[in-house]
Structure 1
Amino acid sequence: MRVPLNLMALLAVLAAIASAAVAAEGGPAWDVCVAPTSTPDERVKACSTVIDTKSETGGRLAGAYCARGHGFTEKRELDAALSDLDEAIKLDPTYACPFNNRGRVYSFKRDYDRAIAEYDQAIKLDPSLTMAYSNRGESRYSKGDLDGAIADFNAAIKRDPTYAMAYANRGYVYARKHDTAHALADYTMRIKLAPDLLAYIDRGNVYRDSEQLDRAAADYGEAIRIAPTDARGWRNRGMIRLYLGDNKGGLADYDKALQYDPADVFSWNNRGQAKMRLGDFKGAIADFRKALELNPGLQTAQEALWKLGAL
């Protein structure tokens, strides 16, 4: 889906560990192991310390394995993640966290049926685990079951009306179903709850596809404001400006896009289009040639160079 899994799944660990663990106070390694702000490397290292020093037992040890499994998942070390999550389940078969996170591993492996089965078990064990519904919705979407995905996102939102990613994911599915009104409503709620780069780009894309170009440009402008060194806002707004005939504005946006992502073939191609419209034929030729260097089969760049007599 459009929304990355690692954004959606931010640990079932915290809520699940809280119910599974009552034994000890922990220590610095434990705190880093389960902290939602820890990087995957920090999490794996800290949880390994907890596990190797045998400082925890029972539910808290299961929590450490689940947390380290999450860290390995984010590092895409999927077999290591499965090993840890299997161990967490052996230690506590009633613990929803490893089933949810094991579902994510199988989703990354594109085994969506197995992923759904894992999410089913996580939900059976903890019906309040909002992210398990949202994660299951992602797997159902990946299987082509759009209505089933929407039902799961509905369930996630019912259990937690502030869960921004469920709105984002449901909005994505509505957009794929060409239900513009519902897609815009969901993306607008996502922006209200968590106004980040992707939230504005996703809503901007719906405005773009429904030919509300001024609104699309405004959303891409907000994406630029939030993340000015991310190329995505610049190149999306650049495209809208070219659609609207603002070739100078489009050129300026693609200059910025290429500053932050010089490997994007379409930015080179589209900047070439802007330069060609502005009469900078030499610059256009250079940009189209760069686009073809990155993608030798790009037909639009080939056609432009042929029109310019440079092919």
Structure 2
Amino acid sequence: MRVPLSLLALLAALVSTAPVSAAAEGAPAWEACVGLTSTPDARIKACSTVIDTRSEGGQRLAGAYCNRGHGLTEKRELDAALSDLDEAVRLDPGYACAYNNRGRVYSFKRDYDRAIAEYDQAIKLDPSLALAYSNRGEARFNKGDLDGAIADFDAAIERDPNCVTAYANRGFVYARKHDAAHALADYSMRIKLAPDLIAYIDRGNVYRDSEQLDRAAADYGEAIRVAPTDARGWRNRGMIRLYRGDNKGGLADYDKALQYDPSDVFSWNNRGQARLRLGDRQGAIADFRKALELRPGLPSAHDALQKLGAL
């Protein structure tokens, strides 16, 4: 989704949504079913216990279906999730959670018009539900309505100034609009609220695209600090080091990137460039050949091998 530079491996920001839940009180199964920290598998198991034993009724039973539907959505078991969310709506037609989570299922199915209709209903029932605005903004973005998406993210943040997802999504849209100042402000707030690998990489990408390479390298370094075994921080910082002529540093970073993700074609290609610049002709040829093995026809690797007389 981002515009790549010549040495950049594309990264996708993943956006997730926590379930809307009633107060977690009662039996352990109910607490795990609605608990915000439950894993998808734990949520599904706990909510299934509530549903199968009918230990809860009314909106709480609807909540069990809604939250199990959320867990199934996170596992991309979309048809099963949709069945649960339909049942939640049947049990309690005025329960905004079910419409919000059902909208996410339709969004994952790429039926964005229907997703937006679900979010509209969730907002109608609960105008304070920040995540419904954020989710609707994501669906509008996916339809190409960038200004409508920003308006929804604005509304989400107005209702919940700590809505990390809305800051992340709005920052991404501003980056797509080449509005670096607003994108950086949103990503900085996201990092303040919930610093993680993707937050630092997203902000680093904006710094990179606006040619603030020192700041980009610093953010990729932070990504490495918080997730040292994830290849993405290493390969992005490696790219910046190559841009700045630090070929030894770039080589070291791509060594790490390939240690953690040996299937990344761009890291093989870029390490080949670093080795070539450092005079390691045979090492460069080996890396370019590996890149072509992973992606036949990759122009940069093909051209490099041709120039080296290694085709």
Q: Would you say same fold, with TM above 0.5?
A: yes
- Structure 2 residue 48 is the aligned partner of structure 1 residue 40: no
Match of 2:60 in 1: 60
Matched AA of 1:75:
K
Q: Does 1:122 align with 2:122?
A: yes
What is the correspondence of 1:287-302 to structure 2 with a 5 Å cutoff?
A: 287-302=287-302
- Equivalent position amino acid for 1:273 in 2: Q
Q: Distance in 1 between matches of 2:244 and 2:110?
A: 40
Q: CA offset at residue 168 of structure 1?
A: 1.1
One-letter identity of the residue aligned with 2:55 = S
Q: Does 1:203 align with 2:192?
A: no
* CA RMSD of superposed structures (Å): 1.1
State the Cα distance separating 1:44 from its structure 2 match: 1.0
Superposed, which structure 2 residues align to 1:41-190 within 5 Å? 41-190=41-190
Counterpart of 1:5 in 2: which secondary structure?
A: coil
Partner of 1:249: 249
- Work out the CA distance in 2 between the residues paired with 1:184 and 1:47: 39
Residues 136-187 of structure 1: CA deviation (Å, up to 9, x unaligned): 0000000000000000000011111111221111111001001111111111
| Aligned counterpart, 2:228 | 228
Whichever residue aligns with residue 4 of structure 1, its letter is: L
Q: Report the 3-state secondary structure (helix = DSSP H, G, I; strand = E; otherwise coil) of the residue aligned with 1:98.
A: helix
> 2:237 is matched with which residue?
237
Question: Counterpart amino acid of 2:44?
Answer: V
* Superposed displacement of residue 69, structure 1: 0.3
Q: Is the 8 A contact 2:207 2:215 kept in 1?
A: yes
* Aligned residue among 3, 7, 11 for 2:19: 11
Cα distance in 2, alignment partners of residues 194 and 178 from structure 1 = 24
Q: Offset of 1:29 from its aligned partner? A: 1.3
Cα-to-partner distance string for 1:11-63 (whole Å, 9 max, x where unaligned): 12x2xx24xx9xxx531211111112211111111111111111111111001
Distance 1:265 1:286 in 2: 13
What displacement does 1:198 show? 0.8
1:85-135 deviation per Cα after TM superposition (whole angstroms, max 9, x unaligned): 000001100100010000000000000000000000000000111100000
Letter in 2 for 1:42: A
- 1:190 Cα offset (Å): 1.0
Q: 1:235 deviation in Å? A: 0.3
Q: Which runs of 5+ in 1 are unaligned?
A: none
Letter in 2 for 1:142: N
The one-letter code matched in structure 2 to 1:201 is: I
Answer yes or no: is the 8 Å Cα contact 2:65–2:87 preserved in 1: yes
Counterpart residue identity of residue 284, structure 1: A
1:87 maps to a residue whose letter is E
Q: Shift of residue 4 of structure 1?
A: 2.2
Identity of aligned residues (%): 81
Alignment size in residue pairs: 301
CA distance in 2, matches of 1:216, 1:4: 20
TM-score of the aligned structures, taking structure 2 as reference length = 0.95
Q: Which runs of 5+ in 2 are unaligned?
A: 2-11
Match for 1:172: what amino acid?
F
CA distance in 1, matches of 2:82, 2:15: 17
CA contact 1:3–1:169 (8 Å) conserved in 2: no
Contact 2:15 2:165 in 1 (8 A): no
